A and B are shown apart, each in its own frame.
Chain A
Amino acid sequence: MLADLIESLAKIVFIFTVNVGVFAPILGWVERKQSAVMQDRIGANRADILGFTAIGLFHSLADALKLLTKEDFVPANANKFFHTLAPFIALVPAIAAFAIIPFGGRYELFGHEINLVIADLDVGILYVFALAGLATYGTVLAGWSSRSNWSLLGGLRASAQMLSYEVAMGFSIIGIIIVYGSLRLTDIGAMQEDFFRWGIFLQPVGFIIYMTCAIAENKRIPFDIPEAESELVAGYFTEYSGMKFVMFWMAEFLEMVTISAIVTTLFFGAWHIPFVTDAMLLSWFQFAGPNGAAALAMLVNIVVFFTKVSFFIWLQMTIRWTLPRFRYDQVMRMCWKMLLPLSLINLSITGLVVLLL
């Protein structure tokens, strides 16, 4: 009982540290620096501590200090309660979605079985969709409670866009669920031990649709119409400052990490190296004794998983700095007239093939 508690706590602390402590600040730096390198620039490199700049990493620190000391401003006539609540509703699902994502296999350590996932839920992927639905409230509340035209327009656009894309996103995942026959993400991850059973080979169309819808859910370019700078100032979070602004900003980055993690788990072999099974890893690390082998295999699993996640974060950043923004009617047309029919066709073909085989 106590061992279970310690195990859960350790995993929660680990994931929280990786997400909030490492990914959120680093991604701000990555976004600046990667865009600079892609556009033949140098990027932020001026913030320094005693003349040591660490290729611009201290800009995240400077940002954090600046935003922490800024005035927490609530506009006149704004609904103060909901204005304060909205960033929390936006941020919490982004962090909480990581609870069901497996970042490693199942290992025996000191006679205690360790499953490298915080919560191994039966409903699995449905939990992610539930939280994605909840995240919509954060955006809409922020837009509505600010008492600003720009915020309200941003909130309206966000609600329509996020609800529409949730439909296509749900259908794109059902293909994967049919193929693997399970909603549980640990099962889906374990079944991708064989390289040729990775989701990308079984559901290539599903991957493209999911990736598109996920970026649209996260409201990043090319689907950043709810926060379009050139039209709506900053969209639904125009009236936010200080820490509340940081929470929206962190929610965006953490959602990006979550999307990458889900894509890795569903389509790119979760924690597996191609052609290497967990049993093979254990046999390779036999020299360290049974417990040491399990620990090393776990470490390899985690490193592989987060390497894949980093690659998909890089891909999302590259997409964000490559494509221009869609017009609002184009966003809607793309969802209802292209992605939804495509995902339905993909679903029926998958169902037919699974039935015939």
Chain B
Amino acid sequence: MSTTTGLGQTPYSVQVGIPAATLKAKRVRRRLDLTLWERLYVAEIVRGLVVTSKHFFINMIGFIFPPAGKKRKVFTVYYPEEKLELPPAYRGRPVLVADADGTEKCVACGLCEKMCPAHAISIVAAEKAPGERYPARYTLDLGRCVYCGYCEEVCPTEAIVMSDEYQGLAQRDRNRLRFEKEQLLRPEAKVKTRLYYVRRIYSKWNY
């Protein structure tokens, strides 16, 4: 058996946040009977001040002399200018995958329409040639979509996947959240990592 796409098994690696290996578990002291020294409170305040000012000075140094290879020490992302590299498990707006010739892979079987718990998908099927179906209209109402990913799980031809797109999902008019087939089509290269990930988690290798 061969895979339906010619992607090969290129491994991917995307990292977000602090790697788990570098996080150290800290011991929490849960003794509630305080000693006299602690009940005097002043020393404990000084201890707290030391902790916060340590953060203050380390971050100040980090702002003035950023660590090598980074712009600053603080993790915060300046959102519109900088964007997080999202992991392949992220479920953004569902999109239709286009073939090499620009037409959709979808065969209008209607499984996603049937599966969708929020009734967000509606398909009008038609035939290109006798026995070869395609969606004449494929409407996705993102006002209804709950981003569960069932459509992607159930799709037999890998025609619909959850992309990493999260912008433009807030509109002043509900009608503008209704996306047609032409707006949803994406070239296969754009959703490659997600396709690979979907095959792995849903065991779609043998399709």
Residues of A within 8 A of B (CB): 34, 37-42, 208, 318-319, 321-323
Contact = CB atoms under 8 A, between A and B. Distances in A.
Interface of B: 42, 45, 48-49, 51-53, 55-56, 59-60, 63, 72, 74-76, 78
A321 B53 CA distance: 10
Given A42-B76, A318-B56, A37 B63 contact: yes
A37 B48 contact: no
Nearest to A46: B78
B52 A321 contact: yes
B52 A38 contact: yes
A38 B55 contact: yes
Contact of B75 (A40, A208, A319): A40
A318 B72 CA distance: 22
B146 to A, nearest CB: 32
A323 B42 contact: no
Given A37-B63, A41-B74, A323 B56 contact: no
Contacts of A40: 55, 59, 74-76
Nearest to B45: A323
A45 to B, nearest CB: 8
Given A42-B74, A42-B76, A208-B42, A37 B56 contact: yes
Contact of B60 (A37, A42, A208, A318): A37
A37 B55 CA distance: 7
A42 B55 CA distance: 13
A37 B42 contact: no
A34, A37, A319 — which one has the most chain B CB atoms within 10 A of its CB? A37
A322 B75 contact: no
A322 B42 CA distance: 13
Contact of A39 (B48, B55, B78): B55
7 contacts: A37-B63, A38-B53, A38-B55, A38-B56, A321-B52, A322-B52, A323-B45
Contact of B49 (A39, A41, A322): A322
Contacts of B60: 37
Contacts of A38: 52-53, 55-56, 59
Nearest to B59: A37
A208 B41 CA distance: 12
A220 to B, nearest CB: 14
Contacts of B76: 40-42
Contacts of A34: 56
B48 A322 contact: yes
Contacts of A39: 55
Contacts of A321: 52
Contacts of B45: 319, 322-323
A265 to B, nearest CB: 23
A319 B56 CA distance: 12
B79 to A, nearest CB: 11
Contacts of A41: 74, 76
A37 B64 CA distance: 12
Nearest to A338: B41
B42, B51, B52, B55 — which one has the most chain A CB atoms within 10 A of its CB? B52
A208 B56 CA distance: 23
